Amino acid sequence: MTTLATPQALHARIRESLRSQILSGHYGQHDKLPSEKQLMESFGVSRITVRHALGALEQEGMIFRIAGKGCYVAKSKPAQTLTRLQGFAEAMHSQGYAACNRVLSLQTLPASETVAQAFGVAVGTPMVELRRLRYLDNLPVSLDISYFTQELGLRLAREDLASRDVFHILENDYGLPLGHADLSIEATLASAEEAQLLDVAPAAPLLALQRMTRGADGAGLELDFIRYRADRFRYQLRVERN
């Protein structure tokens, strides 16, 4: 007895076929994809099935649609290397993306146990918390929550944090050279607040990064808790065998 493929299986097959061709370079950036009619004929499916497949790729950010013209391959997903300590805007500008920030809040709070341990201070020590929503090409890509000592944080409060990277301010304005950062990356699910700010569904997958940046002298400068939209950002790393 022959088992008929479900509509879900059919549009998944189209989606994966197109995704594979995009990732392999068969379709390059800004190349036009086959029309809905061509895909219908190639896969022997209905228009609604094709539109489901294309809609899924559009949600992932792999393609974009121009009304009356069709679907095109989007820019490759922005990436930041793990082998070099860079600010977000610094890394994105080099790839041709326009990055900006929206400052959500900047306030003095008592250090939690995690923050206190990272900076080597007592729990409850006054620290400055900076919350920013970061955008690439006017689309939200990450929610950044950063902590600084009170002295440094109050200095930063006077800066243009909407358009400048903190790293750039520290090194170029304050003469505080960066040394290294310790970081961890894991998968997480969006809370209700994160989902609203990042324009994703509640419990959508996010990339969670925790990073402690220290100066050349080893002093703690910035502790970051960052939530990235997994469909709009990635980290990459080249690993040598020897």
Q: Hey, what are 168's tokens?
A: 């750039």
- The arithmetic mean of pLDDT across residues 153-157, rounded, is 97
Q: For 85-117, what is each residue's pLDDT tens digit?
A: 777 777 776 666 778 899 999 999 999 999 999
Q: Hey, what are 31's tokens?
A: 């190349």
3-state secondary structure of 134: strand
Q: Which of 132, 149, 125, 141 is nearest to 91 (CA)?
A: 141
Cβ-based neighbour number of residue 11 at 10 Å: 23
Residue 71 contacts residue 38 (beta carbons within 8 Å) = no
Phi, psi of 140 (to 5 degrees): -65, 130
pLDDT on residue 95: 66
pLDDT on residue 4: 46
Delineate the domains of the chain, giving CATH numbers in brackets: 7-73 (1.10.10.10), 79-236 (3.40.1410.10)
Q: For 24-52, what is each residue's pLDDT tens digit?
A: 778 887 889 999 999 999 999 999 999 99
DSSP bridge pairs for 107: 129
Q: For 47-91, what is each residue's pLDDT tens digit?
A: 999 999 998 888 777 788 888 889 988 766 666 766 677 777 777
Q: Which of 7, 19, 72 is nearest to 46 (CA)?
A: 7
| Its pTM surpasses 0.85 | no
Residue 206 pLDDT > 60: yes
Residue 63 contacts residue 14 (beta carbons within 8 Å) = no
Average pLDDT, the chain: 87
To the nearest 10 degrees (0 to 180), the angle between helices 36-43 and 7-23 is 110
pLDDT on residue 83: 66
Residue type, 33: L
Question: Is the Cα dihedral 172, 173, 176, 181 positive or negative?
Answer: negative
3-state secondary structure of 41: helix
